[in-house]
A and B are shown apart, each in its own frame.
Chain A
Amino acid sequence: MYKIKNFFLLVLISFLFSNAESIITYELKIANGKGESRNFFENSIDINTFHDNGLYFFTQLEYSVPPLIGENGNNIDDIINIMYAQFSGNNYDLTVGNLYLLQGMGLSLHTFQNQDIDYDNSLYGVDINYNLNSKFDIFSSIGFNNVKSRINPGDISPSISIKNSVGVIGTRFFHDSFELHYLSMAYKQKYDSKDLMSLFSLTNDLGNHLSSLTDFIVNENPNIEMNNLEHNVGISFVLGTFDFNLEKSFVFYNKILSERQSGYKNYMSIYTNILGYDILYEYKDYNTTMLYNVFANPPVVFKEPSSVLIGRNLHSIDFSSEYGHQIDINKIYKNNLSFNISYAFALQHRENYENQDLFDFNIYNDLTSIMTLLPYKQYYIEFSNWSKNDKFYYRIGYDHYYESLFDKTIEAKTIPMQYVYKLKKGNSFTVYFELQNKYDATNYKEYNFVYLSPSYSHYGKWSFTFFADLDLDNEDCYAFDYTVNIKDTQLSLFVGSQKGGMVCANGSCIQQPDFDDGLKVTLRTNF
């Protein structure tokens, strides 16, 4: 109810400062499918209001019955998704309402909203950033939230709901290319027995620990409260041709229904350019194995794919328990040939198992010998270029993914390709064509997939896309999409079936869920 009261207070204030401008965005998503498809009816409105005195309000309203993912939002309290007011003075920035915070690389604190998966870990409170001078900032936030999330990505509704009260204080120093920050974050977390039971299904040490206490949790229905403390320090600087970024978090927390623990999160990146090759090396070591992370969203240290088929085997990173590294190299040659190569490797911290030295190259030879550490490796190479007359474009890659999960080991080899041919007057053909061979080593099963998606764009006014998603051993999916752009409005009609993942059509790439034989309508417009 507090949201409603504050909302009407904001409306009242807006009336008082009537000399305002606004930007309003409306989005409608409707789906009606068969079988296991999730039918949904989602409406969301983003209202930005700017006042002459520098006051800025953001409100996001959502009416979704039902939403694609999450709970029905049909009562008045659920309709207000986000609401915050910001004011900037000469030396300070003040935010009241939902706080979206990021300090350093997010090892301790990064709050964000992801509407696609109905996730929002923002605090509801007050944040202030004060500039002491041109080189020093101090910042502080205080707030609370109830973070709802789905332990199993296949779930529609949240399976866990953790209540948090948080206080953050920190400082930042910057001079030229040197930056140093420190923050201290104290937070109280509350879990009820239902949350604890949901955590049983985690496939890491925390899940194992709680599973071993099943009888106690089921019979006693305990409510847990814990006080956690994190100290986060980060430094970035340039030394010669090298860019360094180092960050560390010290974490003190309670192992649920057990003793006090300490953990850490480390991250490092080094970037340089050698002989025209832009080279980035990243290292991560996240070790808070008995903590369910709510506020950390640190670097993933692997390449997030833009390919549909590669995206279906996305590395399931565990931010509480993972160490690994990645090297990523980019280069554009004189004839505009663009080249990218990337290699990522990661292991998990497991209780009672010794950590491996990532620079002991023997471990890379036979990953089956370190299967208990759930090894992940992925390399990717890609070339792309436009022809000299700017008519024809190609992008060809090769991806090799290997990951040992809790219950299966998957190896996939994918060749993603994209071709574009430009016609006169801004019309164009685009084809996404991808091939994948996937091997499930646990069940000794091999799968072959083909993804083909040609599209035609007509002078930016409308586009038509066809999707063929072929599983050479099972059922295929076919669909088409027609999108029309009229001024600030975009309307898309999708008919057919679709497998979930990142889908690129109509010049945008969006995460889409599985959909079976039906119609989807998406409308976006700015007022």
Chain B
Amino acid sequence: MFKIILLLISFNLYAESLPNGQLKSLDKKKIDLYEMIDGSYTVINFWFLACEPCKKEMVYLSDFNLKYSKYGFKVLSVNTDNSRTLNKVKPFVNSQNYSFPVLLDPKSLFFRKVGAKVCPYLLVVDDKGEIINRHSGYNPGDEIKLEQEIVSMMYSEISSDTTLTDSSIINILNIIKPSSR
């Protein structure tokens, strides 16, 4: 088996591009992921209804989506509940007033495609569509590190913003170095 794996690895080039996915909106419309991302800096998170850590993380993702949208950043949320609980997703999402769109992956095909195994699972994707980091699981406080990653990823856009007054972003800019991008 290991020979086969080595064989597979040997002929594959190693760029971590985000694969495209055919997902559905909460209104069951077909969504092409690449069209939705459209060259933005993106965080994609995967979750399901019975996952409490996922829901905690999404509160912060909703804040980040609003806070950094003017720098070309967006959050896309992918729900992996299957037909057993699928119809409960829209009422829950609407009740939470998230600022980001929630897409449906009830067959978990896209979840599998990006190499995820457990929820919550989060991908940080740059404006060229490269996956620059992955996070598995969420503990309260992890959002601080995630926000630093987001700011680091968009360092040039944010640091060149002459109208920037948000002290929390300025503090992060002071902590991270431009070379960390």
Contact = CB atoms under 8 A, between A and B. Distances in A.
Given A19-B13, A50-B19, A174-B28, A14 B8 contact: yes
Interface string B82-99: 111111101110111100
A459 B95 contact: no
Interface string A73-106: 0001001000000001000010000001110111
Nearest to A134: B30
A203 B172 CA distance: 60
B95 A278 contact: yes
Interface residues of A, number: 91
Nearest to B144: A426
Interface stretch (B35-43, B49-57, B69-77, B155-163): B49-57
Nearest to A483: B137
Contact of B91 (A50, A328, A485): A328
Contacts of A209: none
A485 B136 contact: yes
Contact of A297 (B28, B83, B92, B140): B83
A112 B139 contact: no
Contacts of B164: none
B87 A271 contact: yes
A338 B95 CA distance: 9
B115 A278 contact: no
Given A48-B19, A61-B1, A100 B140 contact: no
A11 B12 CA distance: 11
B91 A271 contact: yes
A319 to B, nearest CB: 10
B177 interface: no
B114 interface: yes
Contacts of B107: 100-102, 112
B84 A25 contact: no
Given A50-B19, A58-B112, A100-B107, A460 B90 contact: no
Interface stretch (A141-149, A184-192, A368-376, A501-509): A501-509
Given A19-B13, A106-B82, A508-B119, A330 B92 contact: yes
A14 B4 CA distance: 13
Contact of A526 (B53, B97, B118, B134): B134
Contacts of A236: 28
Contacts of B85: 299-300, 304
Contacts of B27: 177
B130 to A, nearest CB: 10
Nearest to A99: B107
Nearest to B95: A330
Given A48-B19, A279-B91, A507 B8 contact: no
A425 B144 contact: yes
A106 B28 CA distance: 15
Contact of B141 (A110, A243, A273, A428): A428
A347 to B, nearest CB: 19
Contacts of B28: 174, 177, 179, 236
Interface string A302-336: 00111000000000000000000000101110000
A63 B12 CA distance: 22
A263 interface: no
Interface in B100-148: 106-109, 112-120, 134-145
A393 interface: yes
A19 B11 CA distance: 8
B50 A305 contact: yes
Contacts of A79: 1
Interface in A14-41: 14-15, 18-25, 27
A91 to B, nearest CB: 13
A56 interface: yes
Contacts of A506: 137, 139
Contacts of B134: 488, 526
Given A243-B90, A278-B91, A49 B115 contact: no
Interface in A142-199: 174, 177, 179
Contacts of B5: 45, 47, 61
Interface of B: 1, 4-5, 7-9, 11-17, 19, 22, 27-29, 49-53, 56, 59, 82-88, 90-92, 94-97, 106-109, 112-120, 134-145
Interface of A: 11, 14-15, 18-25, 27, 45-50, 56, 58-59, 61, 63, 76, 79, 88, 93, 100-102, 104-106, 110, 112, 174, 177, 179, 236, 243, 245, 269, 271, 273, 278-280, 282, 297-300, 304-306, 328, 330-332, 338, 386, 393, 395, 418, 420, 422-423, 425-428, 430, 455, 457, 459-460, 463, 483, 485, 488, 490, 502, 504, 506-510, 524, 526-527
Given A490-B137, A524-B118, 13 more contacts: A21-B17, A61-B5, A76-B1, A102-B106, A236-B28, A282-B88, A304-B50, A306-B52, A393-B56, A420-B140, A430-B139, A455-B139, A527-B9
10 contacts: A14-B12, A25-B117, A47-B5, A271-B90, A278-B95, A297-B82, A330-B91, A457-B139, A457-B141, A488-B134
